[in-house]
Structure 1
């Protein structure tokens, strides 16, 4: 399951409840599009804003609605005790894999992060993907630490935060990291603006926010890269540059994707927990126009 397009849908919610009907509809869109896997309760899945029982409910609903598509469930939490509980829940509901970021309030040391992954992999019967996202987890992995963690039992993939924009530099970056990893561990690119470059540089999987809402659009880039048509993958990504610019301007993809889901009528409004806010005003109008102009689907 650690290849191709792994689509990460929004978890729509307000201050009181999760919109389970809308969430199920988002999962249905992904299975109908035939994405390669689904990643729930990642950053776009708002895991940090959900209680443990709410996270279990979302994981179960995703697996039940996935119609055989592999589901990876995020298990990040501040305390190892809670990560272990979330890992057990994910396995109980039938997750195919788990996704673990080293979440911190107090800044973690490399030894502490290795200890976290060592403890969790020792309690798992499903594969684990390492979530490297310094923007949300506030920890920066070294390649050496990636290599040490990748040799733990059950580690199957690493979700890296983008690659250099220059194709040659991107290939060098991926090749350098790969020398640290066992052959069984794949490298996945995130940061949607970097996806085509990362896939063309040798990443096996795109861990995609765009794919969680517009899977057909994301699949077209993924399949072009998988077929070895690097130019087509690059062209398709460049066509989406206005969206990548919106992501950057608004501090990441979450607020943009949430607003897009509202504009498409796929979720109720509001769909983010306070104090988060979706795009409003001029930004929302620009997004609405882009969805039509770019024919996102």
Structure 2
């Protein structure tokens, strides 16, 4: 079992307009990830629209994903507005067979570092599962400084961090900063268009949105970058070039739902109030798919 290393592929969570998980569709997506060579399944991340799901549906999603794989570990997102709810989601995920947890400091009111620390301490203590810090300042309004991550890393079950691409665009320097602060943590990145460079710089994991639909292509890129093969990594990354342009233009969530529909993997639509892609972007997406 490989956890927080290599390619962690994040699928959408197909659901009905009433917020009920469409289990056969989710199972199909997760089976595709294992067959494509993903090292782990990143379930119920932002791409998995976890904040739109009830407790029962989150638990059902974890059970479905765990039941769909034979050896690929499932990392389950457990973010919630309240600490006690996040603890409950963590225990539910553990009970359904998740191998690890992913936690973002979700809050309507921006949190202080002490509030985030106490939140992570409580959730990490709710189970024995290894936990990955989910740094997503664009949605949580909280930025994890490397010195603060060093403090969190002292919590026994915290094992990894999922970082966004740095604003400086110098991912090698950013990685080195976090390595110095928390040398025991697995350090990985999201922001698919920059993850080739992150993996070539020595990051441990690529937390990939595109990998949630195109695992084979993403696994090839990950493997090339992890063995330091710059030429092959560039070739594999070029397959995604047009998709990366769209990701940077409009974000990835709406694109992944539209792509899943185009590939006939599910008919599920985005949960309201989110709306689908406008026609012009749909037409661009057709030619951008790495298939």
Using the size of structure 1 for normalisation, the TM-score is: 0.93
Displacement after TM superposition at 1:120 (Å): 1.5
Residues 210 and 165 of structure 1, relative CA distance in 2, 3 Å threshold:
farther
The answer to whether the 8 A contact 2:14-2:21 is kept is yes
The aligned counterpart of 2:63 is 60
1:278 to 271, 276, 279: 276
How far is the alpha carbon of 1:163 from its aligned partner? 4.0
Q: CA deviation at 1:248?
A: 1.8
How many angstroms does 1:10 deviate by? 0.4
Cα deviations across residues 143-162 of structure 1 (Å, max 9, x unaligned)? 11111111211111100002
Q: TM-score, normalised by structure 2?
A: 0.95
Match of 1:209 in 2: 209
Rounded Cα–Cα distance in structure 2 between residues aligned with 1:235 and 1:244: 14
Count of aligned pairs between the two proteins: 288
Partner of 1:255: 254
Asked whether the 8 Å contact 1:163–1:198 carries over to 2, the reply is: no
1:21, CA displacement in angstroms?
1.2
Structure 2: which 5+ runs fail to align?
A: none
8 A contact 2:66–2:97 mirrored in 1: yes
Partner of 1:73: 76
Is the CA contact (8 Å cut-off) linking 2:21 and 2:60 kept in structure 1?
A: no
> Aligned runs of 1:227-242 on 2, under 5 Å?
227-242=227-242
Q: Deviation per CA, 1:195-216, whole angstroms, max 9, x where unpaired?
A: 1011011101100100011001
Contact 1:48–1:77, Cα closer than 8 Å, also in 2 = yes
Question: Any stretches of 5+ residues in structure 1 without a counterpart?
Answer: none
- Taking the aligned partners of 2:178 and 2:163, their CA distance within structure 1 comes to 10
Give the equivalent residue in structure 1 for 2:183.
182
Mapped partners of 1:8, 1:137: distance in 2: 19
Change (3 A) 1:231 1:151: farther
1:249-285 CA distance string (max 9 Å, x none): 21x11000110000111111x4210111221311101
Q: CA RMSD in A?
A: 1.4
